Structure 1
Amino acid sequence: MELEFLGGAREIGRSALLIDGRLLLDFGMDSGNPPSFPLHEPDPEAVIVSHGHLDHVGTIPALLSGDARPPIHWTPPTYELAMVLARDTIKLHGGSYDCPFTEAELARLTQVSETHAYGDPFEAAGYEVTFFDAGHVPGSAHVLVDDGETRLLYTGDFHTEEQQLVAGTTARPDADVVVSESTYADTRRPPRAEIEREFVASLEATLWEGGTVVVPAFAIGRTQEAMCLCAEADLECYVDGMGTRVTELFSRPRNRAFLRDPDRLRRAKRHARFVDGRDGQRRRIAEQNTVIVTTSGMLHGGPAMTYVPAIRSNPTNKIALTGYQVEGTPGRELLETGSATIDGRAMRVSAQVEQYDFSAHADRAGLEAFLEPYREEASVLVTHGDRCGWFAGELREAGYDARAPELGETVVLE
């Protein structure tokens, strides 16, 4: 088995792994400015997608240019998320050199899509492939690829702790080689339940003092997590941005099986007030004593561009960031300086700013727990992280056969 790392090696973003030139696992994009894509566009016989985040699925429609029509295999939620993200990419970049695909290529996705449940083996490009629940977001999957001689486990992104939407992964299928993400290999978090309690207590305190809380959140997963926590604590909550569409997507009958507790999301959906974005509506909401969950999670677009300026001047108000803020984003600038550049305007923020680590990735302890069964049984190839080489070295010291492939490297499995 021959593995070519077209993206996601020693970096986070644009994940893409080509097996024997025939089977492609993920084909994402890095949404920086400008965006970046996998090193080259292959011509695979089939495509497997681990989950519906932009860095894993963002460039998939580009594979359908010309006469190419490889079948694309994913879970039902991942397929639907891919369609939402692709339409948003065309909306943002259509007609520019930054958009890697066209409307016509996007339309072809429905013709080649093949969806699968967890645990049901299927054939793709001559390999037996099986999805296992990765516990990252609804529909996320570990991908087991078997060519009859070698069993390769591609972890995708995964989490080992229980979240509001999904349970942590418990799957540990037999494998000869594990291609593992390592996003938070250098981080140890408090228990998830503790972070959730602190988050809710902070929101309650601000509301009790008469303030407004803006919760910038990623549309996929994070928005719905915040909704569930607000509903459970009976906190008034408005929801705005792409997260409203994703909430509807997760609520569809065929996607409910991929939720830990469909009733939990249904209750949160009933409890929330969804914003339709009419003129003036957002400013009126920002004047209320309420919680506003809105995209984008790093303050570089979406309705947050209206809410943050509207609440920034009052020290009683609060901005509760719910995830990692990438360097160079307004969210990172706000954390480090107390100011943020919103829509090209630098503005001082007097409102309180807090950050909560609601990551859907395993931390160091979670990575160690997941990989432990493979210590003596499999080789580990470390990817999808800022410190892949360092983590591979840590694993070797702990007795693993581990290394971190370079971007563009081809690894031949013996």
Structure 2
Amino acid sequence: MDVQFLGGAGEVGRSAVLVDESLLLDYGTKTATPPQYPLGSAGGGRGVDPNAVVVSHGHLDHVGAVPALLSGEARPEIHWTPPTRELALTLARDTLKLHGNSPRCPFTGEDVRRIGEVSVEHGYGEPFEAAGYEVTFFEAGHIPGSAHVIVDDGDTRLLYTGDFHTDDQRLVSGTTARPDADVVICESTYSDVEHEDRTAIEERFAESVKTTLWEGGTVIVPAFAIGRTQELMLICEAYDVPCYVDGMGTEVTEMLRQYPEFVRNADALRRATSHARVVTGRDGQRERIVDQRAAIITTSGMLSGGPAMTYIPAIRANPTNKITLTGYQVEGTPGRSLLETGSAEIDGRVMPVSARVEQYDFSAHADRSGLLDFLESYRDAEVLVNHGDRCEAFAEELRADGYDASAPELGARVTV
């Protein structure tokens, strides 16, 4: 089995792994200016011709470029769980809305429409055939519908972990799956981080927000639309924090409620949805809300688009206000700049921010202990480390612990 890393090697973003020039695992984009796509995708277009595509989950860095695979004559089947399909379509439509008339957009509305012609949905633990391989999904504990992927050619069992979490979140339970594998392609986003106890983080976040509201301030809570927005809604309901929800996260929440079997507690999600007030953006609603004492959960999580672009300029000058970043900030994004410099580029202008800025680790990824606990089941397997800023360092640490581990470079081909 030959494996080529077209993206996600030594980086977070544009995940894409090609197996035997035939089966493509994920096909994502990397948040940057301009956006980056997997190798071979000149100008963001289709650069590979797989016989089939398997998608691990519905985040932009894993599924964002998938419609581009349908821009030519080829029509590879796309295999995913039902929520991942819905999330992929939501992201594709949003990309078209933001960049549809720009060379930055790697696909057209017609390409997105074609997804319906080739989409094949699967549940967990149900083997299926794709490009001549037997493929099986296992619950990965990252977001609803996220999956570990086993690829079996009869001789070698390859485990592509996708993104995963070993601890419970309010939205989804941590993964307990440890399917047999000869080779593991393992994500490593937080390979040098130990997550703080989740309850302690939640309590600190809720207390901080309530304090700011009591002082008369507004709290902007930038959040990824998929997974993070719903997690924060659940936290706000649990701690009785009044909140608004704005952006794509509202649409995603309603969609996820249609798949109760893919969330940890469907009743809790229903209560959280009732607790939050939805922002429609009509009739100057955002301008009115920003003058109230309110917590506003809004996209984008890295301040690179979405309604956050309206809220941040409006609240930035008042030190009573607060911005609580709740997720990983990719290098080169306004969110990362805000953390490092106290200013952020919004709509082409660098704006100093006097509002207080805090960051909370509500990560949906396994931390170092979680990664090591997961990999303990694969001491006899070959481990290929990807999806991280320090892949080689983590692979070296694994080798020192007795693993057969390496970190392929971008574009590398590995025979396993």
TM class, shorter-length: over 0.9
Superimposed CA distance per residue, residues 159-187 of structure 1 (whole angstroms, 9 cap, x where no aligned partner): 11111110111100010000001111111
Query: Which residue is 2:304 aligned to?
Result: 300
CA contact (8 A) 2:223 2:300 kept: yes
Considering only aligned residues, what root-mean-square deviation do their CA atoms show, in Å?
A: 1.2
Q: Give the distance between the partners of 2:319 and 2:411, measured in 1 at CA.
A: 49
Q: What residue number does 1:404 align with?
A: 407
1:139 aligns with 2:145: yes
Q: Distance in 2 between matches of 1:248 and 1:289?
A: 26
Mapped partners of 1:133, 1:71: distance in 2: 21
Query: In the alignment, which residue of structure 1 is the partner of 2:292?
Result: 288
1:171 has 2:177 as partner: yes
Give the TM-score of the pair, scaled to structure 2.
0.96
Residues 308-349 of structure 1, C-alpha deviations (whole Å, 9 max, x = no match): 222223322211111122233222222223333322333332
Distance in 1 between residues matched to 2:6 and 2:413, nearest whole Å: 9
4-13 or 154-163, which deviates more: 4-13
SS in structure 2 at match of 1:52: coil
Equivalent in the alignment of 2:35? 35
In structure 2, what is the equivalent of residue 20 of structure 1? Answer: 20
Aligned mates of 2:340, 2:406 — CA distance in 1: 34
1:384 matched residue in structure 2? 387
Unaligned runs of 5+ in 2: 41-46
Instruction: Decide whether aligned partners of structure 1 residues 333 and 380 sit closer, same or farther in structure 2, where only a CA change above 3 A counts.
Output: same
Alpha-carbon distance between aligned partners in 2 of 1:381 and 1:277, rounded to the nearest angstrom: 45
Structure 1 231/400 Cα, relative in aligned 2: closer, same or farther at 3 Å? same
SS at match of 2:136: strand
Structure 2: how far apart are the matches of 1:226 and 1:279? 26
1:156 and 2:162 are equivalent in the alignment: yes
CA distance in 2, matches of 1:136, 1:336: 27
Take 1:336 and 1:112, find their aligned partners in 2: how far apart are those partners? Answer: 44
Letter in 2 for 1:249: M
Contact 1:240 1:274 in 2 (8 A): yes
CA deviations over 1:40-74 (Å, ceiling 9, x no partner):
22211111000001111111111112221111100
**Deviation for aligned residue 1:198:** 1.0
Q: Is the 8 A contact 1:165 1:225 kept in 2?
A: yes
User: How many residue pairs were aligned?
Assistant: 410
Q: How far apart, CA to CA, are the structure 2 residues paired with 1:327 and 1:2? A: 31
Checking the alignment, whether the CA contact within 8 Å between 1:161 and 1:192 is kept in structure 2 is no
Question: How far, CA to CA, are the matches of 1:395 and 1:285 in structure 2?
Answer: 50
Shift of 1:31: 2.4
1:251-307: CA deviations, max 9, x gaps? 11xx21110111111100011110111142101101111211111112122111121
1:8-407 to 2 correspondence within 5 Å?
Answer: 8-40=8-40, 41-252=47-258, 255-375=259-379, 377-407=380-410
Query: What is the deviation of 1:143?
Result: 0.1
CA contact (8 A) 1:231 1:268 kept: yes
Moved more, 380-389 or 343-352: 343-352
Please give the alpha-carbon distance, in whole angstroms, between the structure 2 residues aligned to 1:7 and 1:329: 19
Q: Given the superposition, is the C-alpha separation of residues 408 and 333 from structure 1 closer, same or farther in structure 2, using an over 3 Å criterion?
A: closer
Counterpart contact for 2:31–2:333, Cα < 8 Å: no
Q: Percent identity?
A: 69
CA distance in 1, matches of 2:299, 2:173: 24
Asked if the contact 1:176/1:378 (under 8 Å) is kept, the reply is yes
Tell me how far apart the structure 1 counterparts of residues 101 and 295 of structure 2 sit (CA, whole Å): 37
Q: Which amino acid aligns with 1:390?
A: A
For residues 246 and 285 of structure 2, what CA distance do their matches in structure 1 show? 11
- Whole-angstrom distance in 1 between the partners of 2:298 and 2:187: 28
Q: In the TM superposition, what is the alpha-carbon distance from 1:193 to its structure 2 partner?
A: 1.8
> CA separation in 2, counterparts of 1:10 and 1:346?
29
The CA deviation string for residues 2-54 of structure 1, in whole angstroms up to 9 with x for no partner, is 11111111221111111111111111111211111111222111110000011
Instruction: Return 162-171 or 201-210, whichever deviates more.
Output: 201-210
Deviation at residue 207 of structure 1 after TM alignment: 1.9
Which amino acid letter does the alignment assign opposite residue 184 of structure 1? Y
Q: Distance in 2 between matches of 1:385 and 1:337?
A: 23
TM-score, normalised to structure 1, is 0.97
